[in-house]
Amino acid sequence: MIHSTAIVDASAQIADDCEIGPYSIIGANVSIGSGTVVGPHVVIKGPTTIGANNKIFQFASVGDDPQDLKYAGEITHLEIGDSNTIREFATINRGTEGGGGITRIGNHNLFMAYIHVAHDCVIGDHIIMANSASLAGHVTVGHYAILAGFACVHQFCEIGEHAFVGLNSVANRDVCPYTLAVGNYAEGKGINKNGLRRREFTDDAIAALHRAYKVLIRQHGERSQAIASLSDEAAKYAEVARLIEFIEKSERGVVR
């Protein structure tokens, strides 16, 4: 299942049913799980661990050195879970010593052509990064988030679960879960109602999130008072409680 023109380091661990395409290069300390297909002209450097049933298309660069001027050749890692699709010319870098030493990617994600995941990012499950979307270093992306084409996220930002960052948008602050963020710089545009309905959130939960969003994001005033006014909603709806928790823990501030 390994093409005769592929170059595979002797230390690489490749499951017996993997496919490695023509002219691909699999470096030292790379582990690739069962059922994963690596297309032609792919470069994978280690230390990198790739799980089962992933598909990596031609010309992708996975696990190369971080693009950080402080990086001085330290041993750092990339971990990729199961059932991810990594399309053409995607670049996914290993971590840095100062950022914890590891870039982590979960399961069932779609990374379209030309996306970039920088060092020390933490990516959840079921995420879509459309063509040319980019994450700077130390970015966290929650489950089911979507980044539209050419969307960019500033370093150390967090994109909450089920959030949507629009076409050509630049998120320089945290994007709350369940919300829409659009523009350069990104501004909050309300609750991601269509996305939540596709994920089978109830109408009551979506309405509660909409009410909480108006209180927490659109209105001015003391945050503590706004949060206190939502205590009943938070007790009834886990989604509202999560929105409040995210805002309280945000270190960069949230997109408003």
User: What are the tens digits of pLDDT across the range 131-186?
Assistant: 999 999 999 999 999 999 999 999 999 999 999 999 999 999 999 999 999 999 99
Domain ranges of the chain: 7-138, 196-249
Amino acid occupying residue 1: M
Q: Do the Cβ atoms of 6 and 21 come closer than 8 Å?
A: yes
Q: Catalytic site residues?
A: 119-120, 137
Residue 198 has pLDDT above 90, yes or no: yes
- Looking at residue 219, its pLDDT comes to 73
> Minimal CA–CA distance to 47: which of 21, 13, 18?
13
Mean pLDDT of the chain: 96
Averaged over 206-233, what is the pLDDT? 89
- Looking at residue 217, its pLDDT comes to 87
- Looking at residue 220, its pLDDT comes to 74
Q: In angstroms, rounded to a whole number, what is the distance separating the alpha carbons of residues 192 and 18? A: 38
Residue 73 has pLDDT above 80, yes or no: yes
Residue in the block written with tokens 């949507």: 164
Amino acid occupying residue 10: A
List pLDDT tens digits, range 97-124.
Answer: 999 999 999 999 999 999 999 999 999 9
Q: For the domain bounded by 7-138, which CATH number is listed? A: 2.160.10.10
Residue 202 has pLDDT above 90, yes or no: yes
Q: In angstroms, rounded to a whole number, what is the distance separating the alpha carbons of residues 41 and 145? A: 29
- Looking at residue 255, its pLDDT comes to 94
Specify the DSSP element, H or E, that contains 129: strand 128-129
- Looking at residue 194, its pLDDT comes to 96
Residue 223 has pLDDT above 90, yes or no: no
